[in-house]
Amino acid sequence: MTLKQIGLIALFAAVPAGVLAQAPQSKGPKQNAPSAGSNEPQAISGLASSGRNCIGPSGANTHSIGWVPSNSRVTVTFSSDFDPVAAVTNTQMGSDAPDRVARASYYADDDGGGNLEPELRFTTSFSGTLVLHVSKFSAERNAGCYFYKVEIITG
């Protein structure tokens, strides 16, 4: 191997390393999301929907919906391959509760959406955190899967 060949090999070996090795770019500080004022929308617009959820031979699933203000109109609809039953609990805790401890309400349905699908439609009487509970109506079926959609309109 000649000195010229060794020089060319060294040059070609060094060029890719020099091109690929770039100085790390520094990141700026993380930007805070703009806070929504009390009169601005505080939800995702459009049709909200869940992913596919399944229930095994026993038990139930729970899904956190989140906090809603008083007088919110809530609708929860389903599409499933079995006969589900559903309920939503609304819980208010701490100093917001009348007894400064906690209060709760619940709404439940079996087949209100037709075709053995639950459909929950209610207006919250107080602000609180909503949780959706879904189970099978009958133990006869081993498993089933469902999608749910939650729509919330605040007053």
Overall pTM surpassing 0.75 (yes/no): no
**Domain, as residue range, for 146:** 53-153
Tell me if 40 is assigned to some domain.
Answer: no
Tell me if 115 is assigned to some domain.
Answer: yes
Number of domains in the chain: 1
* pLDDT, tens digit only, all 155 positions of the chain: 554 544 444 444 444 444 444 444 554 553 544 444 444 444 444 555 788 999 988 889 999 999 999 999 999 999 999 999 999 999 999 999 999 999 999 999 999 999 999 999 999 999 999 999 999 998 776 779 999 999 999 97
- In whole angstroms, how far apart are CA 121 and each of 7, 38, 48, 86, 127? 78, 25, 15, 12, 16
- In whole angstroms, how far apart are CA 25 and each of 19, 20, 43, 100? 15, 14, 35, 51
Tell me if 73 is assigned to some domain.
Answer: yes
| 8 phi, psi to nearest 5 deg | -65, -40
CATH number at residue 69: 2.60.120.680
